[in-house]
Amino acid sequence: MPTDDRSEVAKGIFTRPILPDGGRGASTVSCMTTPSDPGRASSTWRADHPWAVVYDRISGDDRLGALLWRVGVGSSLSELHDRARGALLQAGSAATVLDIPCGGGVVLRDVPKAFAGRYVAADISPAMLQRTADEAQRLGLQHVETTEADVQALAFDEATFDLVVAFTSLHCFPDPALALREIARVLKPGGRLSGSAFLNDAGLRFTPVILAGRALGLLGPSGTREDLRGWLAEAGLDDVEITRAGGLTYFSGQKPKGSPDA
């Protein structure tokens, strides 16, 4: 595929001639991957789309779920849980943690047994929050509280959390840059963000998935890894790490210890 076409995919528009020479009789397929209504994804998730239940079951199943994850995402499901567990361990047993969007409590299995801090599981969907509460009870976690929240307008004071985990997140948000600024606002100086997202430059293999997700109202505009790096910088986070694993991109960043709200 010509380089120009690849750049169009990354921007959010896939355009190519049907005939390889683009000559006489060639027509053009143009698929807009940028949703006309970015806010539709929030409404879809709030209504507890059936895919939310499917995702929860896949990401919590070490056998069939792990296989489906490998086929669909192109990377290991264990990497997501390893990263979540590592971030929680690094934050410490007395940390204040925000998990947003928590979904059905996917990351709860990664909370260390010794955790005795405050764990706030937040999501825009009441149904997902109920599943999270049920999962916390099943796992015997005593320090989990649930709250309905819009990541783009968080009802928390500045410098509240030591850690924010936001796995499989940014692609669901209408405005990822705004969401990251809000997350950075509620992080304490020295606090970290750890998360993952499906980005627009995940590769041609995943373009049909992005198109389908946006057609179903499951995905927002997202962006590229370059966009993500810029958003994290604009949010004031440093020590940034961005790693692609199949169709998923993992990212992390730290709020500087010398931030004004220190």
The predicted-structure confidence for 127-138, as pLDDT tens digits, reads as follows 999 999 999 999
Is residue 261 domain-resident? Answer: no
| Domain presence at residue 262 | no
The verdict on 102 and 208 lying in the same domain is yes
Residues 5 and 78 in one domain: no
pLDDT digits (tens, 9 = 90+) for 100-134: 999 999 999 999 999 999 999 999 999 999 999 99
247 within a domain of the structure (yes/no): yes
Please check whether residues 125 and 140 belong to one and the same domain.
Answer: yes
One DSSP character per residue, 205-259 reads GGHHHHHHHHHTT-------HHHHHHHHHHTT-EEEEEEEETTEEEEEEE--TT-
HSE, side-chain direction, 13 A CA sphere, residue 250: 18
pLDDT of the residue at 209: 82
Same-domain check for residues 12 and 59: no
Domain assignment present for 260: no
Say whether both 242 and 188 belong to one domain.
Answer: yes
Residue 75 lies in a domain: yes
How many structural domains does the chain have?
2
Per-residue pLDDT tens digits for 45-78: 565 666 666 667 777 777 887 888 888 889 999 9
Please indicate, yes or no, whether residues 6 and 129 belong to a single structural domain of this protein: no
> What value does the mean pLDDT take over residues 205-232?
88
State the pLDDT at residue 13: 34
Domain that includes residue 27, residue range: 1-32
